[in-house]
Amino acid sequence: MSTTASSRTGTNLTRRTMLKASCAAGAGVVATQLGQAQAQPAPTPAGHAVFQHGVASGDPYPRSVILWTRATTTPNDAPGAGAGVATPLAWQLSRDPEFRHIVASGQALAQPESDGCIKVEAQGLEPHTSYYYRFTVTGGAYAGQTSPTGRTQTAPSPGAKVDSYRIALLSCSNWEAGFFQPYRDLATRGDIDIALHVGDYIYEYPTGEYAAKGGRVIRQHHPLHEIVTLSDYRARYGQYRTDPDLQAAHAACPWVVTWDDHEIANDAWDTGAENHDPATEGDYLSRRDAAMQAYLEWLPIRALPFANGGRIYRTLGFGELFELNMLDLRSYRSEYVEKAAADNPDRTMLGSEQYSWLAGKLTSGNTTWQLVGNSVMISPILLPPLDPAIARGITELTGLARDGYPYTTDTWDGFTAERWRLLNLLKSNNINNVCFLTGDIHTSWAGELPLVPARYTPGDYAAVEFVGPSITSANIDEMYNLPDNSPLAAAAAMALTGVNRHLKYCDLDHHGYCVLEIAPEYIHCDWLFTHNKDIPDSSMYVAKSMRTTKGHGIFPVNFALDPAGHSPA
C-alpha cells in the first residue's frame, strides 16, 4: 500500500474427500507439530536446531510441486550473516504424515550462496493428491535432525472436473504492527487448498517508522535499520519466518505468491521508489535485485532472477475449474504520478510483454473461471466519479483525471488508459469469467469493474474483484489514530460506496484475510477479521460473505463457508 513519510508512523481425491480422509490426521498433525516444533525447535545434543524457519511448498502443478526449507547449518548461521557451511539434506514425500508410504525422495545441498535456503521440485506425482514432506540433515555435526512435517497438494490435471477449490487470500503482514492470527487461522481450518499471497510479505522500514496505532511497536524489526542490502533482506525474511503462525500456514498447504512494493521499497516502479534515496541508499536497481534475490530464496516460487532472464508473472492451472494468472505490478510500471497524468496513454502498469501475455490468457482460456492474482486494486475509487464527456472542461481547468479524483494513483487508478484497454478487451470479447484477487490497500472491498465508472449500471461491468484486508498493516483507524470500530470510518466507507456505485462492499478499519471458494457456478468470498491483532491468541470471526456468478455481479449472502469443507449452498 502507498505510504508517505508523514503517514508511516497417491490417490486422486476431490477436496472434500481429501479433507475427510486426511485433514483430521494430516492438518492436525502438521499444525500440532508446527506449533510445538517451530515455537521451540527440537535441539540436538549440541543444543543447535537446524530447521528454525519451518518448511513450505508452492506453485503446484499436476505432477510436481516446489518444496522449501532453510538449514541453519551452524549456531552462527543467522539469515544474511553469511556464516553457513555446505550441508547435505535429504527430502521425502509421502502419502501419509507418518511416512510409511514414501513416493518421492531426493538430495539437496544447503549452501551459503543461497543463504542456506533449499528449493526442490518433487516430480512424478499424482494430480490433485495430498502429500506430506520433510527434510533431514544427512551429514555434518547435526546429521539426523529432521524438519517439521508439511502438507502439500498437487493441482488437478488440465480438463479434470473439480467440484470446488478453496483459496486463502493474504497480504500486508507488518511484523511491528501486530501478530499474525490470520496465518494461524488458515493453518487450523483444514479446508484451504492453496494460500494466495499477493504482496507485502515483509516490510522494509526501520523499527518504529510504520508501526501500530499510536506509533506503538508491538514487536521490533530486525535489523533495526531500513533494509537495503542483500544481507538486510535475508535477515528480515528470516525474522518473519520465525513466527510460529506463519510457519504453520506455510506447512498447511501450498502457497502461490507475488510481490508488491514493500518487498523492495514503498511505492516502487521500474527504476525507482518513493522510499529510496540514491544519495544515501545507492543505486535503486542494485537494491531491487538484492531484494528480489532474497524473495526468490525465501519463498516457494518457480522463478529465476531477472538477471538470468527470469520473471514472476505466470499461470497455474487447476483442472477445468480455473486458471490463476499471477501478475507482477512493480517491475515494469511507470513512475508514480498524481491527478490528470494518470490518464496518459503511455503509462503502463504491466509493461508491453506482460500485458500481451495477460490479454492472451484471458481471451483464450477454456476454464470456467480466470482468476488474476493482483497486488494492487483495479476497481476505481473516485471522489466522485465523473462522466468524461460532461467533465472535460472541469478536467482541463483543475487537472483532475477524466474519471474523477482518484483515492490513490499507486493502484490501477494511476493507469487509467491501460485499465480501460484491458477491461474493454474483456467486454468486447464477451468474456464474463474474470475475477481479480487483490491486496495492498489494507482495507476490504468488493467491486464490479465498469469501463466508465460514472456510467455504471448494475450488470454493466467487465470483471469483478475481491480485495482482502491487511494481516496487520495500518489502515484508516491507525493512520488517523481513531478508536476501533470508529463511526467515522464506517461513515467514510458508506460515502465511498455511495458515490462509487460499482463498489459493493467496503470496510476501512479491520484486519484479517479472505477465504474464497471457487465452484463452477459461483465464487464465494468470506472476509475474516481479527478481534485484536495486538494480542497473539486473539480469535477471528466472519464479518462479511459475498458471491459472484457470471453476469450477475457481486451480491451478499447470509452464510459463510463451513471450515469442515462443506458449502452451505
Q: How many other C-beta atoms can be found within 10 angstroms of the C-beta atom of residue 239?
A: 20
Structural domain span for residue 536: 313-558
Q: Which three cell numbers stand for residue 150?
A: 508439511
Residues 199, 375 contacting (CB under 8 angstroms):
yes
Burial of 512 (0-12, 13-18, 19+ CB in 10 A): buried
As a 3-state breakdown, the chain gives helix, strand, coil percent values, each rounded to 5, of 25, 25, 50
Residue 387 confidence class, pLDDT cut points 50, 70, 90? low
Beta bridge partners of 199: none
Lowest mean pLDDT among 12-16, 34-38, 119-123, 535-539: 12-16
Q: Is residue 458 part of a domain?
A: yes
Asked, for residue 243, whether it belongs to a domain, the answer is: no
Q: How many whole angstroms separate alpha carbon 320 and alpha carbon 336? A: 38
439 vs 394, higher pLDDT: 439
Residue 259 has pLDDT above 90, yes or no: yes
Confidence of residue 321 (pLDDT cuts 50, 70, 90): very high
On average, the pLDDT of the chain sits at 89
Contact 174, 478 (CB under 8 A): no
pLDDT bracket for residue 1 (50, 70, 90): low
- What distance in Å separates the CA atoms of residue 104 and residue 121, rounded to the nearest whole number? 10
Q: How confident is the model at residue 310 (pLDDT cuts 50, 70, 90)?
A: confident
Over residues 39-65, the mean pLDDT reads 82
Q: How far apart are CA 348 and CA 407, in angstroms?
A: 19
* Residues ≥6 apart with Cβ < 8 Å to 457: none
All three cell numbers of 111, joined, read 549452501
DSSP letter at 45 equals: T
Question: Is the residue at 65 inside a domain?
Answer: no
DSSP character at residue 41: P
Give pLDDT, residue 46.
61
pLDDT tens by residue, 419-438: 999 999 999 999 999 999 99
Distance set, CA 328 to CA 198, 261, 446 (Å): 10, 10, 21
- CATH number assigned to the domain comprising residue 467: 3.60.21.70
Please, what is the end-to-end C-alpha distance for the chain in angstroms?
35
Residues in CB range of 428: below 8 A, 6 or more apart: none
Per-residue pLDDT band at 147 (split at 50, 70, 90): very high
The larger pLDDT score, comparing residue 213 to residue 81, is at 81
> Residue 477's pLDDT is what?
86
Q: How many domains does the chain have?
A: 1
- Give the largest Cα separation in the chain, rounded: 77
Residue 391, pLDDT above cutoff 90? no
Helices and strands in the chain, H and E counts: 12, 23
Q: How confident is the model at residue 131, as a pLDDT?
A: 98
DSSP β-bridge partners for residue 394: none
Domain-located, residue 143: no
Classify residue 270 by burial, with Cβ atoms within 10 Å: 0-12, 13-18, 19+: middle
For 43-68, what is the mean pLDDT? 90
Per DSSP, 36 falls in state I
- Which range is least confidently modeled, 114-118, 130-134, 309-313? 309-313
Instruction: Give per-residue pLDDT as tens, 202-219.
Output: 999 999 999 898 889 999
CA distance 198 to 293: 18
Q: Which residue type does 89 have?
A: L
CA-nearest of 384, 399, 401 to 343 is: 401
Residue 363, helix vs strand vs coil: helix
Pairing of strands 322-326, 314-318: antiparallel
* pLDDT tens track for 550-559: 999 999 999 9
Confidence band for 162, pLDDT divided at 50, 70 and 90: very high
Beta strands in 421-538 (DSSP E): 434-438, 444-449, 463-467, 503-507, 512-518, 523-530
* 413 within some domain: yes
Q: How many CA atoms lie within 13 A of 556 on its CB side?
A: 9
Q: Which pLDDT score is estimated for 8?
A: 31
What's the CA gap between 211 and 217, in Å, rounded? 5
Most confident option among 169-173, 300-304, 497-501 = 169-173
pLDDT at 166: 98
CA distance 264 to 287: 7
* pLDDT (tens digit per residue) in 453-486: 989 999 899 999 999 999 999 998 888 888 888 8
The β-bridge partners of 120 are 67
To 5 degrees, how large is the angle CA 456–CA 462–CA 468? 90
For residue 326, what are the β-bridge partners?
314, 373
What is the reported pLDDT for 565? 58
Q: What is the 3-state secondary structure (H, E, C) of 150-196?
A: EEEECCCCCCCCCCCEEEEEECCCCHHHCCCHHHHHHHHHCCCCEEE
- What whole-number percentage of the chain has pLDDT above 70? 87
Give the pLDDT band of residue 232 (cuts 50, 70, 90): very high
pLDDT at 395 over 60: no
Residues 42-56, mean pLDDT to the nearest whole number? 81
- pTM, 2 dp: 0.90
String of DSSP letters for 320-359? TTEEEEE---SSSPPPP--GGGGG-TT--SS-HHHHHHHH
Asked whether residue 497 is assigned to any structural domain, the reply reads yes
Which grid coordinates belong to 536?
497473539
Domain for residue 267, yes or no? no
Q: In this structure, what are the phi and psi dihedrals at residue 467, rounded to the nearest 5 degrees?
A: -120, 125
Q: Rounded to the nearest 10 degrees, how much is the dihedral formed by the CA atoms of 82, 85, 86, 87? A: -120
Tell me if 383 is assigned to some domain.
Answer: yes
What pLDDT score was predicted for residue 17? 33
- pLDDT, greater one: 43 or 220: 220
